Amino acid sequence: MKSNKLIHIVSCHAEGEVGNVIVGGIPEPKGSSLWEKARWIDQDQKLRQFVLNEPRGGVFKHVNLLVPPQNPKAQQGFIVMEPEHTPPMSGSNSICVSTVLLDTGLIEMTEPVTEFILEAPGGLVPVKAYCEDGKAKSIEINNVASFADQLDVYIEVEGLGSLKVDTAYGGDSFVIVNAAELGFEIKPHEAKDLAEMGSKITAAANLQLDFNHPTNSDWRHISFCELALPLFDEEGVKVSRNSVVIDPGKLDRSPCGTGCSARMAVLHAKGELQKGDRMIGRSILDSRFDCSIVEETKVGDKKAIIPSIRGRAWITGTHQLMIDPEDPWPEGYRLSDTWPIKQ
């Protein structure tokens, strides 16, 4: 067995969505802020391709890199690597990172609650971890400030005609559509159709609508399509059953923390949710996030909210990734059967 690289990973999933965590073996990326470091990872592509591409990865998998925090308030920094993007923030990934930090002792666990602050490229993320018998049982994060951008605007989508959408930011940028109007119930048998439809809508939205983050001029595109059913009640709490199509055409298996945040920002802007209100996020696997609006705030001159997201994660393994010096695919490969071509 020969290898000239050794990367240590703890693998994890949050409510069904895989978010593995690199805990060692990678030099610190270049840049003086976490955002710059994330841009460096994105431009360099070498680490992304090594861990995300086949044979070591696949389109279903996210990988997080732990980095020293740049903000003195934070205990730990992390950079999320998704199949296409290196985003400002991700809910399921921050829940995986928090669980791995606590369950492996990288941050000392205090029962029944451990509080600490993570630093994502998109900002600080306060974490409240509910711990029992040495396990982080659920993680509540306060997400970065989230806002509605364009409400009830129309885009033309090939084969669908005119479609009413909202755009919003919840740590990443979304185009949100009514899944019921498109004939979906958000059930597993619809997965392939949902992925294809969502990719088409994201592509159309990026051509026809502008997206600008008021204080982050680097984020000028719409990353994901969120297909969401109209809200319904479960035990007196509003439920958002949704499927988020992650570029380049793969469904979030979790209810999607940034997607739930974006939707709550839209519902807040439309007067349907107020500060203090709760919302349950439900995924295509029926897994659940418990969300709420914690605060009202502003991003630039835009009205915004601070959402909280609570969900569970479980460690599924530990890996040492290696590369045989004679392996002909040091950066891996992708094939369009399981890794769709970006539209």
Partner 1 sequence: MRWKKTLTMIEAHAEGEVGRVVTSVVNDIPGVTMLEKMNFINQVDDSLRRFLVFEPRGYAQMSTNLIFEPTTKEADIGFIILQGDKAHAMSGSNSICLVTVMLETGRIEMKEPETIVTLDTPAGLVRAKANCKNGKCERVTLDMTPSYADQLDAMVNVEGLGEVFVDIAFGGVFYALIDPTQFNLKILPENARQLVDIGTKVHRAVNKQLNIEHPQFKDLNGISYTMFVGHDSDGVMKGATILPPGRIDRSPCGTGNSARLAVMEARGQASVGQTFVARSIIDSEFQVEILAKKTIAGKSGILPRVSGRGWIHGIHQIGLDPSDPYPLGYKVADCWGDAFDLLS
- Applying CB under 8 A, which residues contact partner 1? 1-3, 11, 13, 16, 18, 54-56, 58-61, 103-104, 133-135, 137, 188-189, 191-192, 194-195, 249-251, 253, 284-285, 287, 314-324, 326-329, 333-338, 340-341
DSSP state of 149: E
Nearer to partner 1, 40 or 314 (CB): 314
Q: Minimum Å distance from CB 148 to partner 1? A: 28
Q: 140 forms bridges with which residues in the sheet?
A: 128, 310
Region for residue 28 given its phi and psi (left: phi exceeds 0; alpha: psi -120 to 50; beta: otherwise): beta
Residue number with CB closer to partner 1 (2 or 73) = 2
Measured between alpha carbons, how far is 37 from 254 in angstroms, rounded to an integer? 27
Neighbouring CB atoms inside 10 A of 27's CB total: 6
CB of 149 to partner 1, least distance (A): 27
Q: How far is the CB of 257 from partner 1 (least distance, A)?
A: 17
Q: In the complex with partner 1, which residue's Cβ is closer, 6 or 274?
A: 6
In the complex with partner 1, the residue whose CB is nearer, 40 or 60, is 60
Catalytic residues: 90
Q: Where are the beta strands (DSSP E) in the chain?
A: 6-14, 17-24, 61-67, 76-81, 113-120, 123-132, 135-142, 147-157, 161-169, 173-178, 224-228, 232-234, 237-246, 250-251, 278-282, 288-299, 302-311, 313-322
